[in-house]
Amino acid sequence: MGVKGAFGRWSSYSLVLLCILGIYTTPAVSVKKENFKTCDQSGFCKRNRAYADTVTSTSGFKSPYTLEPASVKFDHGVLSGTVIKSLADGATVRLPLTVALFDSGVARVTLDEEKRKKGEIDLRHGSKARKERYNEAEKWAIVGGTKLSSGAAMKAVGKVATSVVYGPESKFEAIITHSPFAVEFRRDGETQIKFNDKAFMNFEHWRPKVEKPVVEKKEGEEAPPEDTTGEDESTWWDESFGGNTDSKPRGPEAVALDISFPGYEHVFGAAEHTGPLSLKETRGGDRKYSDPYRLYNSDVFEYEMDSPMTLYGSIPFVQAHKKDSTVGVLWLNAAETWIDVTKSTASANPLSLGIGAKTTTNTHWISESGLLDVFVFLGPKPQDVIGAYSELTGYTQLPQHFAIAYHQCRWNYVTDEDVMDVDRKFDKHRIPYDVIWLDIEYTHEKEYFTWDPMTFPDPLTMQKQLDGHERKLVYIIDPHIKNTDNYPVVDELKSKDLATHNKDDNIYEGWCWPGSSHWVDAFNPKAHDWWKTLFRYDKFKGTAKNSWLWNDMNEPSVFNGPETTMPKDNLHHGQWEHRDVHNLNGLTFVNATYNALLARDKEEEKHNVRPFVLTRSFYSGSQRMGAMWTGDNQAIWSHLEASIPMLLSLNIAGFPFAGADVGGFFGNPSKELLTRWYQAGAFYPFFRGHAHIDTRRREPYLAGEPYTGIITQALRLRYSLLPAWYTAFHEASTTGAPIIRPQYYVHPSDDKGFAIDDQFYVGSTGLLAKPVTVEGAESQELYLADKETYYDYFDFWAYEGPGKEKVAAPLNTIPLLMQGGHIIPRRDRPRRSSGLMKWDPFTLVVVIGHSGDAEGTLYLDDGESFDFQEGAYIHRKFAFSTAAGSLQSEDLTTAGTSTSKKVKAYLASMAQVHVEKVIIVGAPSAWQSKAKVQVSETASGSSSSATKDVPFEFVAKDGGKAAYAVVKNPGVAIGAGWKIQF
Amino acid sequence: MRSFVALLYLEYAAIAYAATDSSRPRGVSPDFAKFYKDPKSFTCISNPSIHLSTSQINDDYCDCPDGSDEPGTAACSHLSPLSPHTPADTVRNTVNASLALPGFYCKNKGHIPSYVPFTNVNDGICDYDSCCDGSEEYGHVGGVKCEDRCKEIGKEWRKKDEARKKSLGNASRKRKELVAEAARLRLQVQDRLQSLGTEIEGQELKLKQTEQELAEVERREKGRVVKGSVSSKAGKLGLLVGLAKQRTNELRESLIRVRNERDANKGRLQDLEKLLTTFKEEYNPNFNDEGVKRAVRAWEDYAAKDKADSNDALDRDLDEISKEDGENGLNWDEYESEEETELDVLYAFENYLPSTIRTYLDTKLRELRTLMISNGILADTASTSTGTSTETKAVLDARSRAEAARNDLTNSRKDLASHTEDLAKDFGPDDIFRALKGQCVSTDAGEYTYEVCFLGQTTQKPKKGGGHTNMGNYNRLERIMVDDEMPADGKGLGSGERIAMKHEGGQGCWNGPSRSTTVVLGCSEENEVWKIMEEEKCVYRMEVGTPAVCEAPGQTPQGGREEL
C-alpha cells in the first residue's frame, strides 16, 4: 500500500536538508487518508462541527436566525420572505428565503444571501470570480417535477409561525417557525422532518478580511495561538493542504443545517460510500465513524472498506425509513459537502407508556459554499420518495440492449489484433459477450481522438469484426487534453478558450495521464458544441457506428492538484469558482459526451440510436446520460462484498445503472474469487469485467475448469434473464424504481429487514438473489420477509417465509430464489451476443404464490433506437389465476401510438417471435392427469381468436422440490393477446 | 402479419419436403441419418424409451433430453453444461442428457461439409466460415438471407489448399535436408568426442611428465641461500624494503584506481538519485502500480538513511598517500642500503605516513584489498606470496609448464563434458533442431520487431530505436496442446500436440517477473514468425513456422480442415 509522506513535491533540497539534520521520519504507512482531508483538515467542516458542539454544550443557546413575519408573502405555490441573521456586534445579514411547493408533493426551501445576490461584496486578491452564491446547480441537476402547486395554500399566518398545506389531498404541511427560524414538515399531521431543530443552522455571510498583524504560520491547519476574541478565523482565509494553497477570495461562506427525522431509525443514501446501506453514526464511538460522510468527488485509489470517505461521485439525497413510512431530502449543493449522522433514542417517554423507545436520526449538512437549497419528500412509500426524486433529477436513460449484457474490459487490450483475438476466443469457448473495451493505451501518446498507429493501425477492421456478431466497442475519452505541439484538439481547445481557467483567469495547466494537460470546461455550452464536432465519424477517423464511450477521470482527476483534483479557486464558465461546482464537474462532462454522441448519430440516416456512456464521476442527474461504475476496486473478497450495498445505495438514489468491476481492478483474484464475482456480477445492473494493466489476464476462458464452465453458466444466466432485466430498466426509465431492490424497498413494513443490504430483488420479477461474497462458502442464509413461498431458481425447492432459510451454495451455485406470485420472462437459447437473441422465442416462468395468482410484465423494443418514444415497443402484462385456471397476456402499451410506419414495421418484425414454453412452478396437483391445454390467440387488430390444443406435462412434487408443469410450444406471438386455459 | 405467418408455414412445408427428398431431416449428417429413417416415429437417440412422432422432429421445440429431435434448429441449444439448468429444461428426470448430436450439419455442396454449433442456427448471422451454403439461416430471422457461397469459398479454399499442399511437399523436403544436416552436425560432435579422448590421454601423460619435472627442479633448487631477484646490495633487510616498496607502489596504484572508480560511481549515484528524486516528484500516485509504489517507498527509506560521510580531511589524506613516495619524502633507496633491524624499518615506514590517518589508511587499505580480491581485481596472493617471489626461475618455469599442461587437460575435459552433454540433449525428433541452432527469424508487430533465434534467445527490438530486450533464453523443449483453427493457407498451429521451445530468464520486468517466451512450432515451408502475443505481463507466446516440425514422429500430419 502506501506511498506516502508528503503528497506534494519533495524537493531534493529539503531531502538533503532532512538527511543532514537527521530529523527525517519514516513516512506513515496509511496512504490514502493522508491524501484526502478529514473534517478537521477542511476548515468549514471543522468550523461547523465546532459550531454544533458549542450549540449543544451551551444551555439556552438561541439560533441567531429569524424570519421577518412582515416579509412573508405567498403567491402561486411559493412562499417568500427574509431571514435575518443577527451578529454579535448587533449588525444583521439579510437572507432571502423561498419555500416552493410543487404539484408532485415536493417542497423546496432555498436561502440566499442578499448582499452577494446584489454583488455588493469585494473579492480578495483581485479575483475575477462571481460574487453571487452559486445558483446554477439546478440547471444541471433538475429537469422536471417543478410545476408549482396550485393547490398549496397558506394555512395560518401567525406571529410565531407560518404554515402552508400542499401535496396530494393537502396532506402535507410545512410549518415555518419565525424565531428562531425553523421548518417542520408534517404528513397527515405527523411530524416527519425538521429543519434547524437542533439550531446547527449556520450561514456564513460575506465579511471583509480585517488585516491583523501577520504572525508566522506554518503550513497546516493549526491555528495561531494569538487568536483570542470571538470566532476562530484561522480557516477563514487562505487554506493549505498537501502543499496547495486555496486563495479563498470570498473568505468563509459555508452553509449548514441540521435536518432531523423524528422516529426514523434508518437513513439511506448519500452515495457514494463503501459502508453499509443504512448509514452509520459519524460522531465517534463504538462501531461508528469519527468523520462525517463526505461528498467531494475524488479519484480515490485503493479506497477503503466501511468508510465515510468520499469517492468518485456524489448524490446528496437521503431517505429516512421507518415501518411503513419513507421520507427524504435532496441537498442541492455542488460544493464540498459533509454530512454528520447521529441517532438519539428517546428513553421511555412517560407519555408513551409502554410503547417502545423511538429512535430519531439527525443529520447535519455542511457545504463549503453556494445556496442553502433543500428539496423535501414526504413519501410515504419508498417508491413515492425515489419516484419524486427521479422526476426532479431525471430518470435513468433506457439503455441500448447491449449495454445491459456483459462487457469485457481490460487496461489494456494492446493491439487491434489482440481485440480480435479475444473476440474469437469468446466464441470458441461459447461464452456470450456484447462489448469489448479500450482503455487509454489505444491512443497515440495519450492524445484523445487519435489511434496509436503502431498498435491500432486498423481500428475499422476490428470494429467490423465485432459488428459481425452484433458486438460493440467502447473506447475511453477523458476530460484532460494533452498540452503538446502538433495536436489539433488542444490547439482548438486553447484557441477557442474552452478550457477551465486558473485563479488568475488564464488557462489552467495540470498533470494527468498525458503529463501536462488542460481540462475541457464542460460548464461552457460552447464547449459542448465543440465537443460534438470531435466525435463525428469523419473527424475521429477509425470510429464506427458500433463504437461507444467511456468517460473516466472526470472528478476531475488532476495528479498534481490538491486531493488529486483541481484547485478550488480555478474558474469555470460564468466565472464560477471550481469550489462552487466541483461535484457537478463529472456530470457536465458526460453530458457533453452524451450530446456529442446524440449529434454524431443523428446526422446519420436512420441511425437515431441511444448513446451509451459510462462515467466514473457523477452527481444527481447523471443517471440521464448512462451508466456508472464504482471505480478502482481491488481483487479481494471485501471489495466483492462491499459492491452489493454500494450498488443498492445507488439503485435507491435514482442511479440504478450501476456496476462494480468484476474480478476487482487492482491485483489478481483467485479463481474462486473470480468465479464468485462473475456470479455476483450477473446481478449487477451494469456488468463489466475489468482489470488493471499490471494484472494477469483473466478473460473467463482462461480460468480453466471447473471455473470457466461455472463462469459461463453465470453469464448465460444473465443472458437468459435479459428480458427481465430490460423490463426492469424500462421501469426504472419511467418511474425511477431501483433495478436491484433492497429489502426495505420491497417490504417497507418489515422492520427486521431494513438494515439488510446483502440480498436484493431484481426489478419487479420477484427474483431474490444473495450472491456469495465469502471465500470457501458452501451455503448462504437468505432472509424471507413475507408469508410467501420462495422457490429455488435452479431446482424448484420450496421455502416458506417468513424467516431465514439456508440455501446450499457450492461454487457452482448462485443463491437465487423466486418469490411466489410472479411471472418471469426469459430467453433460453444461448447466443454469442444479446443482439443475436432478437428473434429468439420466450420462456415464461409462472411462479405461483400463496394467493394462487401470479403476475409479470415484459417490455421489449428494438433495443437501440429512440423509436420506442413513438410507440415502437411491446409491453405486455402476463396474469395467471388459479381460480380462473388461465394465463393471459394483456397489452400495456399506451393507446393511440401504434399508427406510425415505424411502429407498424417494428410490430410486424416481431410477429414471428413467439413463446416457446411456459413453466408453472408450484403447479396445482389437480393438473396431475392433464395432457393438454387450450391456447387461443388474438391477432392484433382482430377480435376473433382461434383455439388449439397444446401438449402439457405435469411433474409432481418430489420431496422438497415443488411440482411444476410445462406448456409445450404454445406458439403464441409475444406481442399478441392470448390466453392459455388450463 | 398474416402473410408473414403464411410464409413461415411455407417454410415448414419446405422442410418436410426436403426431409423426404434426401431421406434425412435438416441438419442431420449422413453419420446420424440412420436414426431418422423411420417414417412413423422417432426415438431419442440416447433415450430409447422416449418416442416421438416424426412431426416433432425439427418443430423448433426441444423434446428429447439429448436434443436429438432438433437436429436442424436451435431449440435444444440450451442443453449444455455451459448453460444454467432448471428441472423444466428436459421435462423428465433421470434421463441421459448428454448431447447426441455434434451440431447442425451443413452440406456445403462444392466445399467440405461441416457442423455448426446449434447456438448459431437462425441467429441472423451467416456463418460462412463453417457453413458456406448458408443453410443454418434457413429461418431468415429478421429478414436475413444467407446465399450459398460454397462455390467461391470452396474454390478459394482449394486454391489455398493446393498451395498449402505444395508448400507442405517443399517443407517435407526441407525437413529431410535439415535431418541430414542435423545428422552431420551430430557426427561432427561425435568425431570431436573421439579426438578429444585421444587428446586427453596425451595431455594426461604430459601433465604427469611436467609434474615430475617440477618436483625434480624443486628438489635441485632446495637449499640455495640466495632467493629472489632483488639486488644484492642489501641483505635480508634490503630484501624486505624492496618488497615493501613494491608493495606500497602496488597499493598506491590500486588506491588511485579504486578512488577513481569511487568518484565515477559517486557521480553515477548522484545522477541516479536525481533521477529518483524527479521520479518521486512526477510519478502518478493514482496509477497504483505496486512496483512503482514499492520503488518510491524504498527510495524514501533509502533517502532517509544516513549517508556515508564524505570527509574532506580524509580525502586530503588520500591525496597525500596517492603521491609518489619521493614527494612524501620517502626515499626507499636509503633504506635498502642502510643497516637497520627489520623492526625499525617497519616502524619507520609507518612513521613516514601522515600520522593522522595511519590507522585509517591501514584499515582502508586492508578493506580495499579484500574488496579487490573478492571482486577479482587483485589476485589472492596470500597463500603463495611467501613462495613465488622467492622461487628461482627454473622452478617457476617448471611450475608454469606443469600448470599449462593441467590447464590444457582441464579444458579438454570440459570440452568433452560439454560435447557429451550436447549429444544427450533433446534436439527434438531426429535431432532436428541441431540444424536450426543459431538461425534467427523475426517479425514486426506494433512498435517492435520480435526475433527468435533457435536454441538462443527471443528478443524485442523497438522500431524507434533504443535497446533490445531479451525476452528469454532457450531452456528446453516441451510438448503442449493447442487448439486453433487452421487457416486455409496452413500458416497456423491447428490443433493437437505441438513442440514448444521454452525461453526463460529474460530481462526482468518493471514490476513483474523476468520475461519468458514460449515459442510454439508449426509446420511451414520457411522458418517464419506467424504471431507474437503478450499473454500476460512479460509472458510472451510466439507462433513460429518451420519445416523442422513437419511430419515429425508422434505428430499427426497437419493441415487440411478438420473433417468432421
Cis peptide before A810 (omega within 30 of 0): no
CA distance A716 to chain B (A): 6
Provide CB contacts within 8 A for B561, sequence distance 6+: B112, B114, B157, B486, B488
Q: Which CATH class is domain B436-546?
A: mainly beta
Q: What's residue B293's pLDDT?
A: 73
Q: Write out the DSSP string of B250-289.
A: HHHHHHHHHHHHHHHHHHHHHHHHHHHHHHHHHS-GGG--
Q: What is residue A958's DSSP assignment?
A: B
Tell me if B142 and A717 make a contact (CB, 8 A cut-off): no
Per-residue DSSP letters for B377-408?
A: SS---TTTTTTGGGS-HHHHHHHHHHHHHHHH
- pLDDT for A28 equals 32
Cell numbers standing for residue A767: 427474483
Structure letter (DSSP) for residue A758: S
Cite the DSSP H helix spans in B329-392: 332-337, 342-351, 358-374
pLDDT in tens, B196-217: 989 999 989 999 998 898 888 8
CB contact under 8 A, A911 and B1: yes
Sign of CA dihedral A457, A460, A462, A465: negative
Residue A265's pLDDT band (cuts 50, 70, 90): very high
Q: Are A164 and A74 in contact (CB under 8 A)?
A: yes
Concatenating the DSSP letter of every residue in B484-504 gives -PPPTT--S--EEEEEEEEEE
pLDDT (tens digit, 9 = 90+) per residue, A60-116? 999 999 999 999 999 999 999 999 999 999 999 999 999 999 999 999 999 999 999
**Whether the Cβ atoms of residue B456 and residue B446 lie closer than 8 Å to each other:** no
Choice among A607-611, A746-750, A973-977 with the minimum mean pLDDT? A607-611
Q: Residue type for A897, please?
A: T
In chain A, pLDDT over 70 holds for what percent of residues? 92
- Residue A516's closest chain B neighbor by CA? B282
Chain A CB within 8 Å of residue B495 CB? no
Q: Are B269 and B276 in contact (CB under 8 A)?
A: no
Q: Report CB contact under 8 Å: A10, B61.
A: no
In the predicted model, what is the mean pLDDT of residues A752-767? 98
Q: Of A339-348, A453-462, B342-351, where does mean pLDDT reach its minimum?
A: B342-351
Lowest-pLDDT range of A30-34, A325-329, B494-498: A30-34
CA distance A645 to A650: 9
Q: What is the pLDDT of residue A201?
A: 98
**Residues A392 and A654 sit within 8 Å (Cβ to Cβ):** no
Taking residue A116's Cβ as centre, other Cβ atoms within 10 Å add up to: 20
- The overall average pLDDT reported for chain A is 92
Confidence check: pLDDT of A227 > 80 = no
Contact A916 B75 (CB under 8 A): yes
> Are A15 and B303 within 8 A, CB to CB?
yes
Residues of A catalogued as catalytic = 552, 555, 632
pLDDT tier at A17, thresholds 50, 70, 90: very low
> Is the model's pLDDT at B8 over the cut of 60?
no
Among B446, B443, B460, CA closest to B528? B443
The average confidence (pLDDT) of chain B is 81
Are B286 and A18 inside 8 Å of each other by CB?
no
Question: Does B383 reach chain A within 8 Å, measured CB to CB?
Answer: no
Per-residue pLDDT tens digits for B9-41: 434 444 444 444 457 899 999 999 999 999 999
Q: What are chain A's domains? A: 64-211+235-271+313-393 (2.60.40.1760), 397-625 (3.20.20.80), 841-982 (2.60.40.1180)
* A602: confidence class by pLDDT, cuts 50, 70, 90: confident
Q: Decide if B197 touches A, using CB distance below 8 A.
A: no
* pLDDT tens-digit map of B314-336: 888 888 777 777 777 777 766 66
Task: Name which residue leads in pLDDT, B89 or A826.
Answer: A826
Instruction: Look up cell 533433446; give the residue.
Output: B426
Each residue of A626-681: pLDDT tens digit? 999 999 999 999 999 999 999 999 999 999 999 999 999 999 999 999 999 999 99
Residue A32: band (very low, low, confident or very high) from pLDDT cuts 50, 70, 90: low
> Which tens digit of pLDDT belongs to each residue from A707-729?
999 999 999 999 999 999 999 99
Q: Please report residues of B whose CB lies closer than 8 A to that of A35.
A: 285
Q: How far is CA B187 from the centre of its chain?
A: 28
Task: Give per-residue pLDDT as tens, A556-597.
Answer: 999 999 999 999 999 999 999 999 999 999 999 999 999 999
Interface test with A, best of B140, B288, B460, B486 (most A CBs within 10 A): B288
Inter-chain touch B78–A829, beta carbons under 8 Å? yes
Segment A846-872 mean pLDDT: 95
User: Number of helices (H) and strands (E), helices first, in chain B?
Assistant: 9, 12
The three-state DSSP-derived secondary structure of A636-670 is CHHHHHHHHHHHHHHHCCCCCCEECCECCCECCCC
Share of chain A above pLDDT 90, in %: 87
Tally Cβ neighbours within 10 Å of residue A624.
20
DSSP classification of residue A294 = E
Best A829, A837, A916 member to test B by mutation, with max B CBs in 10 Å, is A829
Out of A152-156, A497-501, A698-702, least confident range: A152-156
Cα within 13 Å of Cα(B223), Cβ side: 3
The grid coordinates of residue B302 equal: 533509502
Contact B274 A12 (CB under 8 A): yes
The pairing of strands A239-241 and A244-246 is antiparallel
Residues 6+ apart with CB under 8 A from A249: A123, A124, A125, A127, A129, A503, A569, A577
**Given this model, what pLDDT does residue A1 score?**
34
Rounded to an integer, what distance in angstroms lies between the CA atom of residue A890 and that of residue A728? 18
Confidence check: pLDDT of B289 > 50: yes
Of A366-370, B141-145, B248-252, B404-408, where does the model show the most confidence? A366-370
Please identify among residues 121-180 of chain B the ones whose CB lies closer than 8 Å to any CB of chain A: 122-125, 139, 141-143
Q: What is the pLDDT of residues B73-129, one digit of tens each?
A: 999 999 999 999 888 876 545 556 678 999 999 999 999 999 999 999 999 999 999
A35 confidence band (pLDDT: 50, 70, 90) = confident
Beta bridge partners of A337: A295, A367
pLDDT of residue A967: 97
Q: How far is B289 from chain A (nearest CA, A)?
A: 7
ipTM: 0.89
The pLDDT of residue A940 is: 57
What's the rounded mean pLDDT across residues A889-897? 79
Measured CA to CA, the distance from residue A768 to residue A783 in angstroms comes to: 10
Kindly write down the DSSP assignment for every residue of B423-488, as one continuous string: HHS---GGGGGGGTTT-EEEEEETTEEEEEETTSEEEEEETT----EEEEEEEEEEEEEEE-PPPT
Res B297 pLDDT > 90: no
Distance CA A20, CA A894 (A): 80
Cα–Cα distance for residue pair B131/B121, rounded to 1 Å: 10
**DSSP 8-state secondary structure symbol assigned to residue B55:** G
∠ CA(A197), CA(A199), CA(A202), 5° rounding? Answer: 130
Task: Among B53, B56, B64, B125, pick the best mutation site for testing chain A contact (most A Cβ within 10 A).
Answer: B125
Query: Would you list the DSSP string of A924-947?
Result: -GGGTT--EEEEEEE-TT---EEE
Kindly determine whether residue B82 and residue A840, on different chains, have CB atoms separated by under 8 Å: no
pLDDT of residue B19: 44
What confidence tier does B499 reach under pLDDT thresholds 50, 70, 90?
Answer: very high
A276-285 average pLDDT score: 94
* Res B353: pLDDT: 61
- Reading the block at residue A65, the C-alpha cell is 436566525
pLDDT of A490 reads 98
Averaged pLDDT, A905-933: 95
CA distance A6 to A27: 8
Strands A266-269 and A202-203: unpaired
- Are the C-beta atoms of residues A569 and A508 closer than 8 Å to each other? no
Question: Min CA distance, A589 vs chain B (Å)?
Answer: 21
Stretch A827-848: mean pLDDT = 97
| A941: nearest CA partner in chain B | B1
Of the partner residues B143, B277, B282, the one whose CB lies closest to the CB of residue A15:
B277
State residue A15's pLDDT score.
37
Q: Which comes out higher in pLDDT, residue A3 or A74?
A: A74
Residue A177 three-state SS: strand
A836 → chain B, closest CA residue: B123
With a CB cutoff of 8 Å and minimum separation 6, the contacts of A639 are: A305, A633, A660, A664
Instruction: Say what the pLDDT of residue B307 is.
Output: 67
Mutant choice from B10, B62, B82, B509 vs A, greatest count of A C-beta within 10 A? B82
Which residues, in sequence order, are bridge partners of residue A338? A294, A366
CA distance to A9, A69, A99, A651, per residue, from A153 (Å): 60, 17, 12, 34
Task: Tell me the domain boundaries of chain B.
Answer: 24-147, 258-283+292-299, 346-378, 436-546
Q: Given a cut of 60, is residue A8 above it in pLDDT?
A: no
What pLDDT digit, counting tens, does each position of B229-288 carry? 444 445 677 777 778 888 888 888 888 889 889 888 988 888 888 888 888 777 766 555
Q: How far is CA A902 from CA A301, A862, A891, A975, in A?
A: 47, 11, 19, 16
- Please name the residues between 303 and 332 in chain B that touch chain A, using a CB distance below 8 Å: 303-307
Q: In the structure grid, which three cell numbers stand for residue A407, read together? A: 462487457
- A293 three-state secondary structure: strand
Q: How far is B540 from chain A, CA to nearest CA, in Å?
A: 12
Contact assessment for residue B476 and residue B466, using Cβ atoms and an 8 Å cutoff: no
The SS3 of residue A594 is helix
